[in-house]
Chain A
Amino acid sequence: MAETIAIIEAASLEDLAMLSMEFGRILMECGASAKIVEEYVSRVAKGLGAGRVDLRVGYASLAITVGIGHGGITRMRKVGGLGVNQRLGQAVRALVRRQEAEKLSLAATQAELMRLVKETPRHPGWVVDLSVGLACASFGRLLDVDWQAFLPVFGAAALGQCVRRQLLHRQVNVFIVATVVAFLAAFLSGLLARLAGSLTVDKAMVSAVLLLVPGVPLLNAQYDVMGGYPTLGNARAVWVGTILIFLAVGVWLAQIALGEGH
């Protein structure tokens, strides 16, 4: 009898640990900082009955120790590529609050989480492409790019975002994507700006690739260091630095192709 109870407790601890980390994984992949991930994982685990929770947030993995009474287990799971998805992140946080308020069972919480992952909508791809094009053209204006280069930057950045979306969907390496998209956007932007008679071709070329500058991971890196997670913060910073180098290679190749710059 005692053995049966121990098996049941172990099974529920296992499910509790894995579900809590699933929340953490999704939050990380949606662009949350380590502090937020730790807070919400801890809340969901305690809401499901854990007496104590210890979480380690790494760049590519999460590890958790949960305990109820005298029992406890430690589990680890992999985290996928880190992006930004505000709607899903917000919905997951709302689910944690709902779980606490309504005391949802583990099965109900898991089912609701799976539903959110499956059903949380995204903006249509073409809307994102045009928005990113507009954002980069606006960046151009902030950087004193002349009006002749406004539409070239808009078009090149929108096309660059479209290509980036397609390549990432086909699971091409993110660093290769950065170089390919940077080359394409910078080359097109520079060529069209030159044809339009722009006097700020070099700035137009750089403006069109600013969609690739990983602003969220960059600021998260600093938040993580300040929040007491220097390992994760440094890992993010290294990733950002590597993306910037691959981005610069793309711009450099485009400059050579157009005979601009050095």
Chain B
Amino acid sequence: MDLYKILHQTFFGGLAAMGFGVLFNMYRRHVLWCGLTGGLALAVRTVGLQLGWSLEAASFAAALAVGSVVTVLQERIGVSRNILDVAGCIPMVPGLFATKAILGFFALTAPVPVNPDETLITSVEFFLRVAFTIGAIGTGLAIPSLLLHVLARKG
């Protein structure tokens, strides 16, 4: 387990989430919570990746952790669960893969494409990773609140 890598990803994941918290016009005290949830997300995802999980599985576990923590602490924090969930998971949105997938598709339309087979496979792979990772994040975030809803109805 590479502890430096985990701490590095946690720190910069938290910083990225705080930056987006400001962009989303969150109160200053809530921006700090964004940083904590963003750091938690990246910590869990990095540990998962180091355990040999796929990016999608690690992202699912990270989103589940963020969703659970936010669901438990939401009343105390006093911020909307949806926004805090999203801000915490923003650093995991695979923007790089999405951009590279589209650029790869652009490259295929050149008059003389370079390595078209490889470019196509890489672009499709990136596209699928974006779709599955977003699906994993959304599902991981939704599960805690859905469970809470079920428990609240039973209670």
Measuring CB to CB, which residues of chain A are less than 8 angstroms from any residue of chain B?
31-33, 36, 84-90, 93, 122-123, 127-128, 131-136, 138-139, 141-143, 161, 203, 206-207, 209-211, 213, 215-216, 218-220, 222-223, 226, 244-245, 247-249, 251-252, 255, 261-262
Query: Chain A residues near B82 (CB, 8 Å)?
Result: 32-33, 36, 223
Q: For the complex of A and B, list the 3 residue pairs with the smallest distance between their C-beta atoms, beginning with the closest.
A: A135-B19, A222-B138, A131-B22
> By CB atoms of chain A within 10 A, which of B18, B98, B110, B114 has the most?
B98
Expressed in whole angstroms, the minimum distance between the Cβ of B108 and any Cβ of chain A is 10
Contact: B91 with A138, CB < 8 Å?
A: yes
Contact: B16 with A251, CB < 8 Å?
A: no
Measuring CB to CB, which residues of chain B are less than 8 angstroms from any residue of chain A?
8-9, 12-13, 15-27, 30, 42, 79-80, 82-83, 85-86, 89-91, 93, 95-96, 98-100, 102-103, 106-107, 110, 114, 134-135, 137-139, 141-142
Name the CB-closest residue of B to A211: B23
Expressed in whole angstroms, the minimum distance between the Cβ of B53 and any Cβ of chain A is 17
Contact: A261 with B96, CB < 8 Å?
A: no
Query: Chain B residues near A88 (CB, 8 Å)?
Result: 25
Query: Chain A residues near B17 (CB, 8 Å)?
Result: 135
Interchain CA distance A64-B142 in the complex, whole Å: 27
Query: Chain B residues near A213 (CB, 8 Å)?
Result: 93, 95, 98-99
Interchain CA distance A93-B81 in the complex, whole Å: 12
A contacts with B: majority SS: helix
Query: Chain B residues near A133 (CB, 8 Å)?
Result: 19
Contact: B15 with A134, CB < 8 Å?
A: yes
Contact of A206 among B19, B99, B110, B141 (CB under 8 A): B99
Query: Chain A residues near B26 (CB, 8 Å)?
Result: 86-87
Query: Chain B residues near A139 (CB, 8 Å)?
Result: 12, 16, 91, 95
Query: Chain B residues near A138 (CB, 8 Å)?
Result: 12-13, 15-16, 19, 91
Contact: A128 with B99, CB < 8 Å?
A: no
A–B pairs, 19, beta carbons within 8 Å: A36-B80, A84-B24, A85-B25, A86-B26, A87-B27, A131-B18, A133-B19, A135-B15, A139-B91, A142-B9, A142-B13, A206-B95, A206-B100, A215-B20, A216-B86, A218-B93, A218-B134, A219-B89, A244-B99
Contact: A31 with B15, CB < 8 Å?
A: no
Contact of A219 among B18, B27, B102, B138 (CB under 8 A): B138
